[in-house]
Structure 1
């Protein structure tokens, strides 16, 4: 009998429950990855994501060959791929990790389960990290997460039995047609080997000062672990990252500053799973507001010209535009800047959250649906339990890029503009523009301070008229963070958010 180990967002051999369990059976194992054209036509997927996966598949193949096996890569639907396998081999089991994705992958997984049930094939899923499927009580989540993080990872199999003549069914990895997000020449490369090297360099030296250096786009490039795409596609194990960070921080030779930095880093791993749990518990968050009564805050997508200028890095606010241009060419930007981009789109530009969220998803090499959609909504003021965070793009620029280093790197129109003017180039006189340049940089799309005040007022009035205590309490009970039983709260906006240094996408 043969077991199929179906790979999804878990492209590694280390800490891989399904692979380890399949090997222990002592029967042939088929490691399978299916390139699904339907998935790559979704509006939140892009070529940069695929190319990271492509790198990772090549690396996974090398890992599997070291233990006597290989990776079977097939194209089409998973059900069709399994059907072809079942026609050639006596398939008895399908093992895989749970995936918290969007509606498309949820329905795909259900179809695979149904296919297996119809043929009396055992289908079994493993929990990959601290997200709990069918969680009954959010009050117990933190305890469950800690138990997973402390558990000993399963060992890499010493040897796999590979069915005969497997290669004839497909090994060639070809690029599916994808939603395009533009060229990404500086994107991170995929694969477990690269992820493990990043982790080693971070734990050895880059982590020092982590909690202080991750907010600025200048320092974050090195201060952040840069493991986010590797965690998103499972080329490294979040549990092993957590355990390695904890062991390094507790080592007798670690300096106090390093210990504090790694404690902060581990808290981000906790929040990584905290946000994915939100989408796991309520998959509808991909499409509608977390606080259902806030769905009616904006009736349409908003001004298409404003959306386009935001997407192209042409808002006229230097830090906003520099971040978008950097993201377009690298596939990555640090969390504080991600939050600012989403908040500016939602408040100053008054765009419905969905189109900006989809655009950013396509730009992110490290797109993780369970983090992205709840975060996009939180930065848009749609949770009902978080304080509004309306970022002032000028103050953020002056604070996080005080010398204009990041701005000048990504906005060549402003390379000659001095520090005291680079954050507000629209205030330059004609004579200053003639002297320093900046004539070709676009004027702001609107007065950001006036737009922020108008947004705050509109949201406040909407909440007074349409937001109920009952719905706010539902959101808090289902998604609020806590380590003990949740306390009932009024419908007024709460301060559920921890400090910005903790509340984040994992970056």
Structure 2
């Protein structure tokens, strides 16, 4: 194929899940080139499909892109938007303007994104255009978990952040109009408390977390309400790349060191716990890359050895779960929280999925896909890595089936989380709010509750369903440990025990004063 180009030195920076100008290796590489830089974002219809994405995620993306465009305009450039299959977009740009090189970060997305990337690679090879893929901060390029991964990850986190360019050369390529979610068939998605997108909001969330809201994050046995209250609100920004993992880690490390000097060991350990969450997120991405390299495909969940029922469109059990009508208060409160906020404590998300796979005996694929669409912070590699470890989905969990009532007593002992999201049950006592069907009729009448009318009856007898599930799991279960894992362990939410190499070797002192940490310097 022959291309007639008006110029031949255009450096394209292809933004994907890295919507920032700070600590951006691919942007720095494009800026170091000899020609003008074209910041490009492509709305690929094969990626934004109702089957795998949602309007709430799309709206967060638009806000993040608007913030990115503002940052580019302050530097003399602007964001160029295109809609269509990525390979066709690049072909058209090259035909009319000439492309010297394409710069991008590696993306660990779904099968559709893997297919898109392969199509772009094939086109670039045929057109003779260098496609320069950078490894994003926090992901050692050649490391595997068997080859000193921790040391390489620590080294990557400690490297100096890449400064944003002061100025970018202007381009004269017109941008297309901003699309709407409806353009891709994404239905209206009411999410009143959805996180706000954009780097500016991400930086504010990080500063609040380091300034005090994260004080209790590392404490053990937090209730669901307490966990939601001290959550930093950074997962969506990490998923869309408005902040890099290295920026967050270095901000935490700086505040952690200052807190240890001030003697505030409680807050310091909470920050260390979130640093461990960042590390685990990188491990999940690395694991996904390894799975892809072996199979050549990116199927996040393994095949189901139990031959469970596929939850097709209109499945009554799945619909009841998604619309908070299971009759189990903690499950229904979790679904309402997820629908209205776009985020959920990973322990609760794991409990929902284990319930569908065990008590409802549904194939994990469709429930996981539905819940993923509701999560604004959905990152395929991280999300499905956690799903693979859950009881009812991971074979090595044995025949353990989480009890939704027992988990409710553990994760929401005072019932505050249930009362917030299920106000119709608010008048029930702490003793009975976790299992309304066991409440005396007098208490139900006094609270104005009619089971089956004002609040659903439980959809299954959870004890009988668990016994049935255990009998089915047992023949295929790999019993590596007789101890029952908790849902906290199943969600990979372990208490943090810092590695020797992770933090400065300062001894934690007891009885710390409650002093404010030093504020980090983080660029907007």
State TM-score, norm by structure 2: 0.85
SS of the residue 2:455 aligns to: coil
Structure 1 residue 449: Cα displacement = 2.1
- Distance (Å, rounded) in 2 between the aligned partners of 1:344 and 1:381: 8
In structure 1, what is the equivalent of residue 459 of structure 2? 445
String of CA shifts for 1:386-418, please: whole Å, max 9, x gaps. 566632221222222223222122113212222
1:194 pairs with 2:201: yes
Return the match for 2:376 from 333, 352, 365.
Answer: 365
Q: Distance in 2 between matches of 1:386 and 1:492?
A: 8
Match of 1:317 in 2: 328
Verify the 8 A CA contact 1:323 1:333 in the aligned structure 2: yes
2:310–2:366 contact (8 Å) kept in structure 1: yes
Q: What is the 5 A alignment of 1:375-394?
A: 375-386=386-397, 390-394=401-405
1:503 aligns with 2:517: no
Q: What is the RMSD of the two structures over their aligned residues, measured on CA atoms? A: 2.5
Can you list the C-alpha shifts for 1:162-185, whole angstroms capped at 9, x where unaligned? Answer: 22x22x242534433244473111
Query: Which residue is equivalent to 1:13?
Result: 21
CA positional deviation for 1:146: 1.9
Pair 1:211 & 2:186 matched:
no
Match of 2:291 in 1: 282
1:430 is matched with 441
Which residue in 2 is equivalent to 1:241? 248
Tell me the SS of whatever aligns to 2:103. strand
- Are the counterparts in 1 of residues 400 and 484 from structure 2 also a CA contact under 8 Å? no
Task: Say if 1:281 and 1:73 are closer, same or farther in 2 by CA, change over 3 A.
Answer: same
SS of the counterpart of 2:225? Answer: coil
Distance in 1, Cα, partners of 2:236 & 2:201: 11
- Contact 2:223–2:413 at 8 Å: present in 1 too? no
What is the CA–CA distance in structure 1 between the aligned matches of 2:486 and 2:434, rounded to whole Å? 28
Q: Residue 302 of structure 1: CA displacement?
A: 5.5
Supply the distance in 1 between the matched residues of 2:483 and 2:90 (Cα, whole angstroms): 48
Farther off after superposition, 379-388 or 253-262: 379-388
Provide Cα deviations, 1:333-355, integer angstroms capped at 9, x if missing partner: 11111111111111122111111
Candidates 257, 261, 272, aligned match of 1:263: 272
Using the size of structure 1 for normalisation, the TM-score is 0.87
SS at match of 2:388: helix
Match of 2:156 in 1: 148
CA contact (8 A) 2:301 2:365 kept: no
Shift of 1:85: 1.7
- Alignment pair present for 1:333 and 2:339: no
**Residues 130 and 144 in structure 1, CA contact (< 8 A), matched pair in contact too:** no
Tell me the residue number matched to 1:401: 412
> Quick check: which one's helix share is greater?
1
The secondary structure found in structure 2 opposite 1:30 is: strand
Cα 1:498/1:427, change in 2 over 3 Å? closer
Shift of the 4–408 alpha-carbon distance from structure 1 to 2, 3 Å rule, reads same
Distance 2:486 2:144 in 1: 24
Answer yes or no: is the 8 Å Cα contact 2:139–2:156 preserved in 1: no
Q: Work out whether residues 100 and 279 of structure 1, in 8 Å CA contact, stay in contact via their aligned partners in 2.
A: yes
Identify unmatched segments of 5+ residues in structure 1: 468-490
Unaligned runs of at least 5 residues, structure 2: 1-8, 495-524
The alignment of Structure 1 onto Structure 2 pairs a total of residues equal to 474
Greater shift in the superposed pair: 30-39 or 415-424: 415-424
